[in-house]
Amino acid sequence: MASNQQTRPGIGDLAKDTSRGRIGVVMGEVGGRVQIRPIGGGREWDALPRNVKPPSAREELSARLAIRNGNSRGGL
């Protein structure tokens, strides 16, 4: 029997916070919240575990491209 339940991304995995519509890297869990950092670096934010899902392939590509484009504009 197949399970329809999605597994939540683990530490180091890309994740989407569905309440904010943001994608980042899971850094850990503290106090029942998941800490997520933007994939380009920056300040972490807390998300409720029920709102943390794996991003779709399109969302992941879009997020990675945005970071890459931002780096190229900054001369990196």
- Which residue range(s) make up the domain with 32? 14-70
> Residue 74: which pLDDT band, with cuts at 50, 70 and 90?
low
> Residue 1: which pLDDT band, with cuts at 50, 70 and 90?
very low
Query: Can you spell out the DSSP letters for 4-71?
Result: -PPPPP-TTSEEEETTTTEEEEEEEEETTEEEEEETT----EEE-GGGEEPPPHHHHHHHHHHHHHHH
Q: Report the domain count for the chain.
A: 1
Q: Identify the pLDDT of residue 17.
A: 97
Partners of 17 in the β-ladder: 22, 52
Residue range 12-44, pLDDT digits in tens? 999 999 999 999 999 999 999 999 999 888 999
Assigned domain for 3 exists: no
Threshold 0.85, pTM exceeds: no
Assigned domain for 5 exists: no
Assigned domain for 51 exists: yes
pLDDT at 69 over 70: yes
Q: Identify the pLDDT of residue 41.
A: 86
Assigned domain for 22 exists: yes
Q: Identify the pLDDT of residue 20.
A: 96
